[in-house]
Amino acid sequence: MSRLAAMRRSSLVELIMIVAVAIFLALAVQAYAVKPYRIPSGSMEPTLDVGERVLVQRITHRLGSDPKVGDIVVFHPPAGADGIPAVCGEKVVEKRACTTPTRKRSDQTFIKRVVAVGGDTVMVRDGLVVRNGREQPAPFAAPCAGGDGCDLTTPITIPKGSVFLMGDNRGNSDDSRFWGPVPVRWVIGEAFATYWPPGRVGIR
């Protein structure tokens, strides 16, 4: 083999190795650090539109950091969320949010906003969350407009190790009001940036 041919072969092998390593790193990053997610419904409007694509960081959650109030997270809901209508893990009480999710986890992935964490008391008044006795301003949310779940005025307490999640489209969101709090271990990660469409690109 000529010296030139040997050099070309060496360069080709090097290129293949670089591409293979790049693919491996990209897959590793998606599996453990950052994952893309497409918004499937209008439940988070006006904050996130249908078809918008966001990046979800999984690092802090994997390192043991729990979601905080205000975070927008991707998660697996309880299996009760798969039903139409959604199924609570206990008997539904009028004017009270679901306090107990079904035991099994759904294979679906949802995206919602954390509005309360373990130990908080929560009720909903005219679509606004009343957390620990204080109404929480929500300039990011669409008006509830009298839909189901707009007024759940009997307080509930969120279990330790769980989060209570609601969509920003308060009158048109299938969320914890109907299928209960979500165990933190079912949370995948926090949405931190939009990468599509171009006009919506930015850090959240």
pLDDT tens digits, residue range 26-47? 444 444 578 899 999 999 999 9
Q: Which two tokens stand for residue 42?
A: 């209008």
Map tokens 């929480």 to a residue: 136
Q: Given this model, what pLDDT does residue 26 score? A: 41
User: What stretch of H or E contains 181?
Assistant: none
CB 106 within 8 A of CB 87: no
- Residue 93, number of CB atoms within 10 A of its CB: 13
Q: Which two tokens stand for residue 137?
A: 């301003």
- DSSP secondary structure of 136-158: PP-TTSBP-TT-TTS-EEEEEEP
Domain boundaries, the chain: 1-32, 35-203
Question: What is the 8-class DSSP label of residue 105?
Answer: B
What residues are annotated to the active site? 43, 112
CB 102 within 8 A of CB 179: yes
Q: Given this model, what pLDDT does residue 198 score? A: 92
- For the entire predicted model, the pTM comes to 0.85
Q: Given this model, what pLDDT does residue 61 score? A: 65
Phi, psi of 59 (to 5 degrees): -65, -55
- Which parts of the chain have pLDDT scores under 70? 1-32, 61-64
The CATH superfamily assigned to 35-203 is Umud Fragment, subunit A (2.10.109.10)
Q: Given this model, what pLDDT does residue 21 score? A: 36
